[in-house]
Amino acid sequence: MSVTYIDAIREAQETLLREDPRVFLYGQDISAFGGAFKATKGLADAFPNRVFDCPISEDAMIGLAVGAAIEGMRPIIEMQFADFSSIAFNQIVNQAATHFYRTGMPIPITVRLPSGGTPGSGPFHSQSMEGIYAQYPGLVVVTPATVSDAYHMLIDSVKLDDPVLYCEHKFLYRWLKSKKINGEHLPIGKARIARPGKHATVVTYSAMVHEAVRAADRLQADGWEIEVVDLRSVKPLDLDTVLASVARTGRLLALGEAFPWGGVTAEVVAKVTEEGFHLLDAPPQRLNARDTPVPYHPKLWAAHRPTPESICEALRKLLSF
Amino acid sequence: MSADGEFLRSVFKSMLRGRILENKLSSLYKAGKIVGGVYLGKGQEAVSASLGASLVQGKDCFAPLIRDQAGRTAFGEPLIDCTRTYLGSVEGPMKGRDGNIHRGRPEMGMPAMISHLGAQVPLIAGMLFAKRLKGTLDGCVGATSVGDGATSTGAFHEGLNLAAVEHLPLVIVVANNQFAYSTPNTRQFACEDLVDRAKGYGVGGHSVDGTDLLACASVIGGAVRLAREGGGPQMVVANLLRLGGHGEHDDGSYVPDSERNGKYGRDCIEVAIRQLAEGGIATVEEMAVWQDEISEEVQRAVAQAQQEPLPDPYKENWTALSTRFPISAE
C-alpha cells in the first residue's frame, strides 16, 4: 500500500473535518463529484453539510470564506486551478490579507491552489502563483514537496490563525508516492535539507525539489555533492536554514518553476546576498521557467520549466566559477 | 406612541446624528484637521438609517459602505468610533492603521469595508453561511449597502448570485444616487431600472424614493422582515441624489441643475421633519431639542478624539500576521 500526494491532501481534509467542527470545504465540483482532481472524493458523503459545491465565482468564494472566518469558522477553499485565483485576487490580498492588521481579528482561511505545470495543460491551467501572493503582507504561502508535508502542512495551515495559500503541485498528485505519512514533521516556516551535500546549494520548493534531487544525483557521478534545500513554505522564508547551507557549500542556485521576473528565487538570492555575502564563493544564480506563458504542447512545456538537464547546466556553471 | 412611531423616531434620530456628525467632519476637513478623504452620506440618511435601524446588533450583521454614517449609528456604532478613526486616534478601532469610513467592528457583526466596491456582498453572505453551519441563522439578517456604481462590479454579481443560490437572508440596499463619483448612470448601466435585475438573480426586488423617510422605513424595513422570515435575498433600489461631491475634495459641479432641482434633489432630513410633524410622531420643538443634544454629543466625540494619542511608528507592532514565526517544532 502506498499513499500519493493527492491522497495525503484528501486524508488531511478528512482529518480536519473529523476533528474540527469549524472546518468546511467550499469549491467548484468538490461535493458529490469529489473535485476536478478528486481531492475531496467521498468527503461529502462522510460529512453531510460540510462540503459544498459553489458557483463559478472565485471572488465570491473567498469573500464568503472571509465572512465565515469572521464568524469563527475555518473554511478550506478549493480553487479548481491556481490560475483561477486571479479572479479572487482582490478578496485574497485586500480583504483577507489586510484584515488582521486593520482590525486585530485574524482570518483563518486556507486556500488550496492546484499549482504548476503538467503536460498539455497550457497557459491557464499551469501557473505558479506563490511569488505573487508572498509579495503581500498578511499571507502565509506554503509549497509542500513531499507526501508527508502535503498532509501535515494542510493540517497546520488550517490550524494557523492567518490566511494561508496552500500551493499543491498538480504534477505530484499521483506521481509522488510514499509508503506512509510520517508522524514527525517540521512546523510551517522551517525549511528542510532534502539531500545533503557540500559543493553547492540548490534552494527550491514544491515539484522542483524532485528535479533538483535528480540533477544532484547525476552530478554525483562526477564527484559533486549537491545540497538541496526544500523551503516548504516560501513565506515565511527560513533564511537560517538557507544561510547555514550556503555557509557549508559557498555556492547558491535558487530554483523555481514560476516566471523569471522577481518571485521566490529573486527573494532568496537577494536575502542571501544581503545577509550572507561573505559566505559566497561564486555569484548566486537563479533558474526559473521561461518568460512566456506556459505552453500547451508537452515538448514546449518540458523546455519551458527547469529540467534536470538545465539544472545540471546551471550547477556546472556555478561550480566552475 | 405606536411601534411604528417609535421606529420612525429612532430612524430620524440616527439620520440627525449622521448629518450633524458629518457636517462637523466637513468643517474639520476644511480646517485641515483630517488627513485623507472625507466621504459623506448627505442626502442618503433616510435610506441608511432605515436599514441600520431595522437590524439587531448582536444577532444580525451589517457591512456599511461610504455613505452610511446614519446606518452605522442606527446599528449601534458609537460616534466616537467615527471621530477617532477620522482623526487618527490610537484608541479607535483601526488605531490609525486605516482611516475614515474604512472602519468596523467585525466582532460586533459590522465588518470594516475595503475600498473595492461590491467586495462586502460575498463577505456578508459568508457570515450568514457560517451562521447557518453553526445553527444560529434562524431569524438573522445580513445587510450591506452599495451604490449604483458597485452594481457594475463582478463582486456584486458573484456575491448576490451566490447568496441567491444559498437562499441566504441577505438584504442589499442599492443607493442609486445617479453618479458613481462623476460618472452618470447613463455610462454605468443600460437597463431601464436597476430593480429589474432582481428577477434575473432570483431575489426579491423593491424600489423606494430614498428621500422619503416614511417610504424608506416601510420598504427597507419590509425587505429586512422578508429576509428574516425566510424569503431569501432582497434587493432594494433606493433612488435619490447625492447632495454633495464624491468626497469633500470634490464639489460635485458635474451634477446638472436639472438633477439638483429634480424630484430626488430634495433633502431627506427636511422631508422627514415635515413627515414626523404632520403625522404627529414628533413635534418640531422636540426635534429641535434632539438636534441640540446630538450637536453636543458630536462636540464631545470630536473633543475626546482630538485629545487622544496618535499612532506612534516607534511603538507600532509592524506585523500583518497574528502568528509568531518561527513556530517551534512539536
The pLDDT tens digits for A296-314 are 999 999 999 999 999 999 9
Predicted ipTM of the assembly: 0.97
What does the domain layout of chain A look like in residue ranges?
3-178, 192-319
CA distance B110 to chain A (A): 10
User: Residue A221 pLDDT more than 60?
Assistant: yes
Q: Which residue does chain B place closest to A137, by CA atoms?
A: B320
pLDDT at A237: 98
Per-residue pLDDT at B330 exceeds 60: no
Q: Is the model's pLDDT at B99 over the cut of 70?
A: yes
Alpha helices in A27-145 (DSSP H): 43-46, 58-70, 89-90, 97-103, 130-134
Q: Indicate the residue of A64, A102, A104 with minimum beta-carbon distance to B122.
A: A64
Helical H runs in chain B?
A: 3-30, 45-54, 69-75, 79-87, 120-134, 154-165, 197-201, 213-228, 257-260, 268-278, 284-307
A304 flagged as catalytic? no
Q: What is the 3-state secondary structure (H, E, C) of B9-74?
A: HHHHHHHHHHHHHHHHHHHHHHCCCCCCCCCCCCCCHHHHHHHHHHCCECCEEEECCCCCHHHHHH
pLDDT band at B3 (very low <50, low <70, confident <90, very high): confident
The confidence score (pLDDT) of residue B49 equals: 98
CA distances from A121 to A165, A289, B43 (A): 21, 15, 53
Identify the pLDDT of residue B329: 65
Kindly report the CATH class assigned to A192-319: alpha beta
How close does chain B come to A294, measured CA to CA in Å? 27
Q: Does A186 sit within 8 Å of B329, measured CB to CB? A: yes
Q: Does domain A3-178 have CATH number 2.60.120.560?
A: no
Q: Which CATH class is domain B3-307?
A: alpha beta
Return the residue of B nearest to A65 by Cα.
Answer: B126
Contact list, B141 vs chain A (CB under 8 Å): none
How is residue A92 annotated by DSSP? I
pLDDT tops 80 at residue B1:
no
> Against a cut of 0.80, is the pTM above it?
yes
Residues of A in contact with B155 (CB under 8 A): 59-60, 63, 90-91
**Fold match flag (A3-178 vs A192-319):** yes
Span B248-257, average pLDDT: 96
Q: Which string of b and e fits A116-135 if b means at least 16 CB within 10 Å?
A: bbbeebbeebbbbbbbbbbe
Considering only CB atoms, A71 lies closest to which of B95, B131, B158, namely B131
Is-contact B152 B137, C-beta < 8 A?
no
List the single best residue of A59, A241, A242 to mutate versus B (max B Cβ within 10 A): A59
* Sheet of strand A285-287: strand arrangement: A192-195, A226-230, A200-204, A252-255, A285-287
% of chain A with per-residue pLDDT over 90: 99
Average pLDDT, chain B: 97
The residue extents of the domains of chain B are 3-307
Reported as a single tens digit per residue, the pLDDT across B161-191 is 999 999 999 999 999 999 999 999 999 999 9
